[in-house]
Amino acid sequence: MAKALFIIDVQNDFIEGGALGVQGGTAVANGISKLLSQHPDTYDFVIASRDWHDADNDNGGHFAGDAEPDFESTWPVHCVAGTYGAEYHDELTTRAIDHHVRKGQGQPAYSIYEGVTEEGGTVHDLLDANGVTQVDVAGLATDYCVRASALDALEHGRHVRIITDLVAGVDPQASRAAIAELAAAGADLVTSDLVDR
């Protein structure tokens, strides 16, 4: 029975000053790095996702293009593959990441489960192959990709914990609603100082 940490989309475009910067994003990046430094043996696997969108199309309508984005299903251009905005934020310690997942390559994608590993596999198969039964979730943004990733992990039978001080959302009200939804769906809510318990 192994334990994994999901680090969701801690990328430059989702940090303050980025194309879709989330308030508190830098603090989340710092907090995750601190967690990995202070608890190096807590997780058997650290799995990080990144939006990795195509530059030459609207990614299945995900990019608003010339239209005004609705910030629900259409968005400004962000996290284009190979650009600075798509890279991990500098405050995130990447040396502890065991598996890198890219999602949204030509299509909308919110959950880490919609991405592919560098080896071309799915997150579901990766967890199954390594006997991962518990998943802790941290990252950005609470009301979108954190929510979608955690719900998928629950649906795939994992015991899920949301590290509540290591997530930040687009909208405070929607983020509170997402946390409540995840708790109602069976996720446990913990803070980073309690991950060893």
* Rg, C-alpha atoms of the chain: 15
**Dist. CA 42–CA 105, nearest whole Å:** 31
Q: Which of 103, 136, 143, 152 is catalytic?
A: 103
Strands 188-190 and 45-51: unpaired
Burial 97-109 (b: 16+ CB within 10 A, else e): bebbbbbbeeebb
Q: How many of the other CB atoms lie within 10 Å of CB of 48?
A: 24
Can you tell me the distance from the alpha carbon of 34 to that of 6, in angstroms, rounded to the nearest whole number? 15
Total residue count of the chain as it appears in this document: 197
Whether 90 is catalytic is no
The rounded distance, in Å, linking the Cα atoms of 89 and 70 is 26
79 is annotated as an active-site residue: no
Write down the catalytic residue from 9, 13, 143, 152. 9
- What's the DSSP call for residue 75? B
Q: 40 by DSSP, 3-state: which? A: coil
Give the Cβ contact number of residue 7 at 10 Å.
Answer: 31
Q: Which residues are designated catalytic?
A: 9, 103, 145
